[in-house]
Structure 1
Amino acid sequence: MKVFGSSGTRGVAGEQLTAEFVLRVAKAAGTVWDTDRAAIARDTRTTGEQFANAADAGLTAVGVDADRLGVLPTPAAVRYAEVEEIPAVVVTASHNPPEYNGIKLVGADGVELPVAELERVEDCLLGETFDEAGWAEVGESTRIDGARDDYVDELVAGVDREAVADADLTVALDPGHGAGALTSPEFFRRIGCDVVTVNGNADGHFPGRDPEPVPENLDDLGRLVRATDADVGIAHDGDADRAIFFDEHGEYIEGDASLAALAAKALEPGDATVAAVNVSQRLVDVCDDVGADLELTPIGATNIITRIQELQAADHRVPIAGEGNGGIFFPDFRLVRDGAFIGAKFLELLATTGATASAVVEPYTAYENVRRNLSYDAESELSAMLGAAEQYAEDADVEASTVDGYRLDYGDAWVLVRPSGTEPKVRIYAEARDAARAADLADAVEGELRAAIGDD
């Protein structure tokens, strides 16, 4: 696909992503969807209202009424779409920097559109075959109140509130100025937690930290955990579909470790789980121990969702799936990544085991991860780096997996190179039990890629 990547379409606002483009995307979606009504939601970004207005203009121009939901976490918008049985346009760039924005399209079943449906929208967009409505048939816009409250109510009903409340947990929460600032503090308090926050105001300038919940952006959360003697820290990204954790000492927990701990709790023999090609050996180990099947897909929520649906259609139980970036699915609840629900499932794990956060993830901390991002300014640089990655894989003494990029498994370690689906970057991932081994693998690949663009 030329427009929609692994998780919608994104770009720098005013450059790659303009109001005119958003309007055209909405017109295409409204033309393809067999509906007379759709929802529009957004995260807190400064350009969000502008782009939501553009989406409104696009939908109504093709005769679709627009339910304006305002600022909502993506999982709350997905819930609204499913309950109302209408599709939705979500204006969000998720974890990307503040200057970015983007569009996610959600079907009337409350699931992000699959690749085939996105291709239909893309064909309409590129061909400009919009079903323009006449003056008497244009759609109407309606402001909808209560979507946030309904979402929180459903979250509360979906978790073991009694167990969490009895554990008397203190949660340090960092919504990162995103949409989760309007829902997660209330939710965690309603399930019986004491909640302290940092970066807790909704602000599209993201003054406290960038939206991506990675260690270098979360120093304030670690300090808050230590200062308040909290049991756990929880951080979201801009649209609150991820949850990253800190332990009771204020130390960052690798997302792969928390995913493994939650999977060990959820999976039973014969179950299946789905992860992206950058899956950690931690999850591989859990599946081996439990007797569950692990399915790998290209990186991106759309690919994981599609494979979960295929497995469910074949009567396989898929209680958990996701990636080590904090984006975890619990399909029995809803087929969406939901940072608040992920956080609650981790709290359930603490409550039911009586263990600390550090103890819960300790069995899954024996691996070291390295991640590098190489930016490029032109498609020629991207092509050169990917060519170098292909040659590196061909010259390696192990067979490469090409599910998404080039992954080399060495038994004791692995390294993956792939282009980002949302930013002008080539990503390098490496994992090993020894930090130096992981760094060496990443260094070797990075050196080849930099040499390919003359950045030695």
Structure 2
Amino acid sequence: MASRMVKVPKLFGTNGIRGVAGKEIGSSLAFRVGSALGTLFPKERVLIGRDGRLSSPMLMEGLAAGLLAQGKDVEDRGLITTPALEFMVKNTSSSAGVMITASHNPPEYNGFKVVDSDGIEIPRSKEEKMEILIHRDKWRASNPPGQRVIREGRIGSYFEKLESQVLARDGVGNLKIVVDTGNGVSALTTPRLLRKLGARVIGVNDVIDGEFPGRNSEPRPENLGSLSKIVREEGADLGIAHDGDGDRAIFVDETGVVQPGDRTLALVEDELLRNHPGAKIVTPINTSMVVSEIAKKRKGKLILTKVGSIEVSRTIVRVGALLGGEENGGIFY
């Protein structure tokens, strides 16, 4: 008698696994995610980090337990932004990383972004393999288990890399910038970097709080009224707003007008293509025509993808593009 195919539930969405903490996302799922990752990846060390959501420490413990049970050493980076964790994964001997976050979603949500050894979220093929393992939920514990090392806050090499890519350092030192980190973990990075570059920084919602009391975590125009007002009142040169895990940046101009993310992408694209005519630019199909117009003007090659940062990032690698971005404020290079 032929065996029936069992349909494996879909866990990964556009960007990782997300759901309401305590209902759809809990310590049991976190343990299975850690166990599946520990089974799938060959190397011995995995970096883990989290945003400031109240459920993140609980999920961190479940995730770490699953990895340790599979014999993987865990490097616990604690509170960290998604870009910083991805950088650390790529530039160390780690096999993978996991960021516990629900990005821009409301505080009751949480989830997992699984990062491959190249610093980019794992491809869809690996997501499917993890889903099969998580659904099967059968694990063989390692003897001995892995070891856990706490290295929270040690991201000096990340700041050094960011500083090395600032082309107009003197210009930054003359700016007054209002930074609204939305009570997210980018409070650990953006204000510090800008102050180090000499900018005068005014912090807004710059205390990490997983309930996001200052504003909705998604940096959309309707949530940035206070930032716009402060930029105008302070006579600042610009404002910057981040989401919960710091992988989106939306800018406010000196008049207090919130600029869409794809307009920021277009400015970066224009500068890049001016210096690298003919370069490839990757963006999803929901990006505005301004990105296409700049590519045409500068003789660049525009490549469209499905929606999702993983789609953009993986396409950048596959086609050898120099830049990619989304309308939500995410830029990749």
* Fold equivalence (TM over 0.5): yes
CA contact (8 A) 1:165 1:193 kept: yes
Aligned match for 1:242, one of 242, 245, 248: 248
Alignment correspondent of 1:40: 48
Give matches, 1:370-381, under 5 Å: none
Q: Which amino acid aligns with 1:144?
A: R
Deviations 1:53-84 (A, max 9, x none): 11111101111111111000001111111121
Residue 99 (structure 1) aligned with residue 108 (structure 2): yes
Aligned match for 1:203, one of 196, 206, 209: 209
What's the offset of the Cα at 1:129?
A: 4.2
Alignment correspondent of 1:55: 63
Aligned match for 1:82, one of 90, 93, 114: 90
CA contact (8 A) 1:178 1:202 kept: yes
What's the offset of the Cα at 1:210?
A: 1.4
Deviations 1:222-262 (A, max 9, x none): 11101211100000000101110101011111222221111
Alignment correspondent of 1:128: 137
Q: Which amino acid aligns with 2:103?
A: S
Alignment correspondent of 1:418: none
Structure 1 regions of 5+ residues with no counterpart? 313-317, 332-456
Q: Which amino acid aligns with 1:102?
A: G
What's the offset of the Cα at 1:319?
A: 2.2
CA distance in 1, matches of 2:89, 2:169: 29
CA distance in 2, matches of 1:161, 1:129: 54
TM-score (norm 1): 0.69
Alignment correspondent of 1:180: 186
CA contact (8 A) 1:85 1:109 kept: no
Aligned match for 1:144, one of 126, 134, 151: 151
CA contact (8 A) 2:78 2:153 kept: no
CA distance in 1, matches of 2:112, 2:204: 27
Alignment correspondent of 1:408: none
Alignment correspondent of 2:3: none
Deviations 1:390-440 (A, max 9, x none): xxxxxxxxxxxxxxxxxxxxxxxxxxxxxxxxxxxxxxxxxxxxxxxxxxx
CA distance in 2, matches of 1:145, 1:41: 9
CA contact (8 A) 1:174 1:235 kept: yes
CA distance in 2, matches of 1:75, 1:67: 16
Alignment correspondent of 2:329: 326
SS of equivalent to 1:84: coil
Which structure carries more helix by proportion?
Answer: 1
CA distance in 2, matches of 1:279, 1:273: 12
SS of equivalent to 1:130: coil
Alignment correspondent of 2:269: 263
CA distance in 2, matches of 1:13, 1:319: 37
1:230–1:290 distance in 2 versus 1, CA, 3 Å? same
SS of equivalent to 1:147: coil
SS of equivalent to 2:149: strand
CA distance in 2, matches of 1:51, 1:161: 41
Give matches, 1:311-350, under 5 Å: 311-312=319-320, 318-329=321-332, 331=333
CA distance in 2, matches of 1:272, 1:54: 41
What's the offset of the Cα at 1:127?
A: 2.0
CA contact (8 A) 1:31 1:131 kept: no
What's the offset of the Cα at 1:154?
A: 2.2
SS of equivalent to 2:91: helix
Alignment correspondent of 1:279: 287
1:84–1:131 distance in 2 versus 1, CA, 3 Å? farther
CA distance in 2, matches of 1:39, 1:181: 21
| Higher RCO by CA contacts (8 Å cutoff, separation 6 or greater) | 2
* Greater CA drift, 73-82 or 148-157: 148-157
Alignment correspondent of 1:307: 315
Deviations 1:286-305 (A, max 9, x none): 11111111111110011111
CA distance in 2, matches of 1:279, 1:158: 26
SS of equivalent to 1:38: strand
Structure 2 regions of 5+ residues with no counterpart? 1-8
Aligned match for 1:109, one of 118, 124, 131: 118
* Greater CA drift, 91-100 or 150-159: 150-159
User: RMSD between aligned alpha carbons?
Assistant: 1.4
Residue 292 (structure 1) aligned with residue 295 (structure 2): no
Q: Aligned residues: percent identity?
A: 38
Q: Which amino acid aligns with 1:263?
A: E
Aligned length: 322
Residue 65 (structure 1) aligned with residue 68 (structure 2): no
Alignment correspondent of 1:385: none
CA contact (8 A) 2:172 2:198 kept: yes
Higher radius of gyration, 1 or 2: 1
TM-score (norm 2): 0.93
Residue 229 (structure 1) aligned with residue 231 (structure 2): no
CA contact (8 A) 1:176 1:209 kept: yes
Alignment correspondent of 2:6: none
What's the offset of the Cα at 1:146?
A: 4.1
Q: Which runs of 4+ in 1 moved over 6 A?
A: none
Deviations 1:302-359 (A, max 9, x none): 11112111102xxxxx222111110111x2xxxxxxxxxxxxxxxxxxxxxxxxxxxx
Residue 23 (structure 1) aligned with residue 31 (structure 2): yes
CA contact (8 A) 1:23 1:54 kept: yes
